[in-house]
Amino acid sequence: MTSLSDSVCIRYFVLLLNAFFVLSGIIITSLGIYIKGYYYSYEPFVKEQYLYAPDFLIALGAVIFFIAFVGCCGLVTENSCMSLTFTTFLILIFFFEMALGLAGYIMKEETNNYLREKLPNTMMKYNTSADIHLAWDTLQSTFQCCGVKDAKDWEKAGMKIPNSCHDSFNDSKTYQVGCMESFGGFIKKHSNYIEIAGVSLSMFQLVGIVCSCLLANEYRKGYETI
């Protein structure tokens, strides 16, 4: 049987977990908004799942806020039904976060292969598509890169090296790094953030699930005693 002091400790620990969930919800939502803003600038170069991942992060952050609210209501009312609802939500979010971590890992591993195919294909449309023209110029000037592997890729494609390949402070200086390396590194870094966030948060969720189950059990015993 759990003592009164143990029950109080569990309650406070669940309260701290709720505070952590609120904080993690803010972080996840902010990360989703940040990545979404960046990825949509380079839509021609990325897969659809790279664009959906930020939306999923934003939605997950909002759901975590809601779950934290339910958990706080369960603590205040000492309602076993609400605490069990909180536990159920935690279990569902646990699987979502594990899936998020797995998606981040897959995105990171597929980056090079996808860009190796996508960048050359879009390069050929540089002079025929205004959207791709703008995307390439934005990509090269932002990441200070040129071509797929280097500036020679433009010449091999029968085109003049774009002005966006040149340093804005020194027109005679051409960026030597290929965009597959610099942009690919950017995608891998943010995919790694998603992977770490998903796996790390799911571990905390396990602790929350155990504690909320113990707390719900205490509330149920209290009702049975009455």
Across 13-31, b (16+ Cβ under 10 Å) vs e yields bbeebbebbbebbeebbeb
Q: Which residue has the higher pLDDT, 182 or 106?
A: 182
CA atoms in the 13 A half-sphere facing the CB of 204: 18
How many independent structural domains does the chain possess? 1
Distance of CA 41 to the CA centre of its chain: 17
CB 86 within 8 A of CB 67: yes
pLDDT per position as a tens digit, 3-38:
555 556 666 776 777 777 778 788 888 878 887 777
Which helix (H) or strand (E) element contains residue 167? strand 166-167
pLDDT per position as a tens digit, 36-65:
777 777 878 876 667 677 788 888 888 887
Using DSSP bridges, classify how beta strands 170-174 and 166-167 pair: parallel, antiparallel or unpaired.
antiparallel
Round the average pLDDT of the chain to a whole number and report it.
Answer: 79
Distance of CA 58 to the CA centre of its chain: 8
Range of the domain at 174: 4-225
Cβ of 5: how many Cβ atoms within 10 Å?
A: 8
From the list 217, 202, 198, the residue with the least C-alpha distance to 53 is: 198
Which helix (H) or strand (E) element contains residue 95? helix 80-123
Provide the whole-model pTM: 0.70
